[in-house]
Amino acid sequence: MGYEFIIAETRGRVGLITLNRPKQMNALCDALVRELSAALDDFEKSEAIGAIVITGSQKAFAAGADITAMRDFSYMDAYKNDYITRDWERIKTCRKPVIAAVAGYALGGGCELAMMCDFILAADNAQFGQPEIKLGTLPGAGGTQRLPRAIGKAKAMEMCLTARMMGAEEAERAGLVARIIPTDKLLEEALITAEKIAAFSLPAVMMIKESINRAFESGLNEGLLFERRVFHASFVLEDQKEGMAAFADKRKPVFKHQ
Ligand code: HXC
């Protein structure tokens, strides 16, 4: 897979995408985000992949959208090209679980990219922030919507209005990240976590992801109804028969992802 700004590789049943634009702190230019989308397409199509990890370097997950590329945009450039929507939304539509393994800076679009993933594992040196206000603009890839849902209005307002960065410990306390991991163990631990998910029944994993995401799209009763219908549908899975038979037989299940 010949990419310029990312590295895409497989580790067992895990697809690993490393943002790789080190001189620019992984600033998210269009070409990088297009490559990320293409890699997600490939991993989504592959029967051999059950979960995906997106990571950066120990210094930066991503320091935001590429300011150099954006600075001279006109309104028409942004509007006609459907900036952000066109390339960035691919992560949102991925049906397999995507984990963001974040070390160093996750700022602006970098923080937004991490929040588009299903959950964030943070290195102890991670720094999250939405500093767009310093540039005379605002978060444009979901920051004003996903951040308050993750950490509440007060902290989201304060971060977006002051550009204050939030370290890993505060981010964990506030609910932005699932877990903190020592920086030098982050990738290893993210891959172990992804491999664990990928070993479970893929359709069951997808059903869980889809159902949890409904919690953010609907009222409680609609969400419960959605979950119940999907739960009923899960009785069609061979993996459900295998999982429950294995429990009764006191053996490990062998999932076929169907
Ligand atoms: C383009 C960037 C960049 C960015 C860093 N660089 N962030 N280039 N876009 N977002 C470049 C720097 O210009 C510099 O290039 C090189 O990366 C190293 O950065 P330094 O600033 O020298 O490093 P350091 O002093 O360690 O500071 C790191 C940093 C700082 C705190 C991350 O770079 C920073 O504040 N970056 C901008 C963060 C930001 O405002 N993000 C939001 C962007 S707007 P040279 O050539 O000098 O070596 C955004 C909008 C979202 O994301 C809306 C839709 C997605």
Give yes or no: 210 in active site: no
pLDDT-derived band at 2, boundaries 50, 70, 90 = confident
CA atoms of 212 and 226, how far apart (whole Å): 10
Find the mean pLDDT for residues 41-47. 97
Percent of the chain with pLDDT over 90: 98
pTM of the predicted protein model: 0.97
Considering only CA atoms, which residue is closest to atom 33 of ligand 1? 63
pLDDT-derived band at 1, boundaries 50, 70, 90 = low
**Is the four-CA dihedral 90, 26, 216, 218 of positive or negative sign?**
negative
**Given this model, what pLDDT does residue 146 score?**
98
Percent of the chain with pLDDT over 70: 100
Contacts of 223 (CB under 8 A, 6+ apart): 211, 214, 215, 217
CA atoms of 136 and 121, how far apart (whole Å): 30
Ligand 1 pocket test, candidate residues 24, 25, 73, 90, most atoms within 8 A of CB: 25
Give yes or no: 222 in active site: no
Give yes or no: 112 in active site: yes
Find the mean pLDDT for residues 11-23. 98
What's the mean per-residue pLDDT of the chain? 97
CA atoms of 205 and 208, how far apart (whole Å): 5
**Given this model, what pLDDT does residue 124 score?**
98
Assess whether pLDDT exceeds 80 at residue 27: yes
Q: Quote the ligand 1 centre to 246 CA distance (angstroms).
A: 51
Q: Quote the ligand 1 centre to 47 CA distance (angstroms).
A: 37
Catalytic residue of the set 104, 132, 142, 168: 132
Catalytic residue of the set 15, 104, 109, 129: 109
Measured from the CA of 83, which atom of ligand 1 is nearest? 54
Pocket of ligand 1 (CB under 6 A): 24-25, 27, 63-68, 84, 105, 107-109, 112, 131-132, 135, 139-141
Measured from the CA of 68, which atom of ligand 1 is nearest? 1
Give 170-209 pLDDT, tens digit per residue.
999 999 999 999 999 999 999 999 999 999 999 999 999 9
Query: Is 117:101 a contact under the CB 8 Å cutoff?
Result: no
Count other Cβ atoms within 10 Å, centred on residue 2.
Answer: 5
Q: Quote the ligand 1 centre to 150 CA distance (angstroms).
A: 24
